[in-house]
Structure 1
């Protein structure tokens, strides 16, 4: 059965991957704690003032692309590793050492991130570390424009 057919038949199965398609994955299970993180590591790695994450059960993760698993880099040595594509450098996932129950997936690495209501952020993490100008952005103008 194709990856698309599996995802289409069960809203708790989502597919995603990197920009070049070398790394693909499916996650099965409910999205946990969809949030926006403003920490320095997310900002530096992404080139953006924040990143949008959601957790999924590690047991429901399958790497399906020809590239297999991402390349992992310890952003917090011995605590947290971040996964990215070694070909196109897309950021995909994060995992904490000692917790094999959940994997953090960048929402934008999921194929249907823009239309999945389960991914709407419910929390803003590390707000004190956010770019100070971020609160001044008028999102109404961007939506209307």
Structure 2
């Protein structure tokens, strides 16, 4: 899950790590601070860019972000020029982050780029974003796992 470190105020913020594909490892990062707005974005833009019907985003304080891998920061691409840039590993192509121009307080991280996204209860999505743009078949998917048989 996440590790805890004490800061100068004596409180213990959570530190999470993540990065691109383990087979590559060029882009690594840590984020420290509270989770902000974990959600699934179902917009056509995220779908086209990622090749998936939705993406799982989580916000963190920009001040708590540190790029730690040998590749430094991800490669940034302005998906909405002058508004939003998306970060990805220039070597393996893993989607990692998003940042909005003019907002230096929050960084959006794809939850799946975090090392322990599957076991961290703070990352569970709390809402669906842009549902009207979802693939029409998505509502037909059964959210319950199939019974073993």
Deviation per CA, 1:98-128: give whole Å up to 9, x if none.
Answer: 0000000000000000000100000100000
Q: Is residue 44 from structure 1 mapped to residue 48 from structure 2 by the alignment?
A: yes
Residue number in structure 2 paired with 1:12? 14
* Secondary structure in structure 2 of the residue aligned to 1:74: strand
Using the TM superposition, give the Cα deviation of residue 39 of structure 1 relative to its aligned residue in structure 2, in angstroms: 1.2
Considering only CA atoms, is the larger Rg found in Structure 1 or Structure 2?
A: 2
User: Which has more helix, going by share of residues?
Assistant: 1
Q: What is the aligned counterpart of 2:119 among 112, 115, 134?
A: 115
**Is the 2:3–2:14 contact (alpha carbons within 8 Å) kept by the matching residues of 1?**
no
Distance 1:102 1:45 in 2: 21
Q: Secondary structure of the residue that 2:112 maps to in structure 1? A: helix
Shifted more, 9-18 versus 74-83: the winner is: 9-18
CA deviation after TM superposition for structure 1 residue 40, in Å:
1.6
Residue-by-residue CA offset, 1:27-48 (whole Å, 9 max, x unaligned): 0001100000011221011110
> What displacement does 1:141 show?
3.3
TM-score (norm 1): 0.91
Residue ranges of structure 1 left out of the alignment (5+ in a row): none
**Counterpart in 2 of 1:135?**
139
Return structure 1 stretches of 4+ with deviation > 3 angstroms.
Answer: none
Partner in structure 2 of residue 58 of structure 1:
62
Structure 2, unaligned runs of 5 or more: 6-12
Of residues 57, 78, 86 in structure 2, which corresponds to 1:82?
A: 86
2:77–2:85 Cα contact (<8 Å) kept: yes
Structure 1 vs Structure 2 CA RMSD:
1.5
